[in-house]
Structure formats: structure tokens, C-alpha cells
Amino acid sequence: MQFIKSRAAIAFVLGATTLFALPALAADNPSAAASASTKAKSPDPFTDKQLKQFVKAQANVQAVIKKWDDKVAKADDKKAAQKKENKAMVKAVKDSGLTPKQYNRIAQQAQKDPELTKRIQSFMTPQ
């Protein structure tokens, strides 16, 4: 089972839309992190389909966060509530057709790549 360590922690603004990257999945391999940072410097390899899925996942993750904010704040057992919220975020991402790893890669790359950010924005509907 994939586990997300904590609530959406990395955020940045794309116009009026905030993107959240799910914190890195539990990974014990430091070379994987080094490999990911090397890949981040290459041109974005994401298809239009993946970016559309990302936009859908982003909206779903935002809805989960909105739903769970109050529940986590009021919970007697905050750890258990956060674990449920994390499971809901993972489900929201998977329901869009992406894995949490793919979702994180796109979000992290978009923070570094203005062209990718523009591509993502092109798939967003005005709110």
C-alpha cells in the first residue's frame, strides 16, 4: 500500500489555482531522490493526457483537503484523521488515472518549469 507521510505540503499558485504536490511517498532509497532531481532538469516528458489527468487530480485533492480540514482540526485522534485524509488524497489521485508518484513528478516539475505550468494552465477551466 502506498502511504503519504503528511498532508499536502508543497504548494504554489498558478494564476488563481493552487497546486499541491503530495509529499513524497515513503521511500528508503536515497538514490531515487537523486535520480528524481536529475530528471527534473530534462524537458518535461508529460503527455497532454497526463496533464489533463493531473488537472482533474488537483481538483480532487483540493476537494479532499477542503473536506478534511475541519475534521482533522476537530479530531481527538489527529494522527488517525490525517491517515484517513492521506488515504482519501491517494484515492483522489488514483481516480484521476495517475499514480501518486506521477502526480508528484508533474507537480514538482511544474514548480521549476514555467512552460509546463503554462501547459497545465491551458487545461484548466476558468473558475
Interhelix angle 100-112/78-95, rounded to 10 degrees, is 90
Mean pLDDT (whole number) for 70-83: 93
Does 77 have pLDDT greater than 90? yes
pTM: 0.69
pLDDT in tens, 9-63: 223 323 334 455 555 433 333 444 444 444 445 566 899 999 999 999 999 999 9
pLDDT in tens, 81-121: 999 999 999 999 999 999 999 999 999 999 999 999 999 99
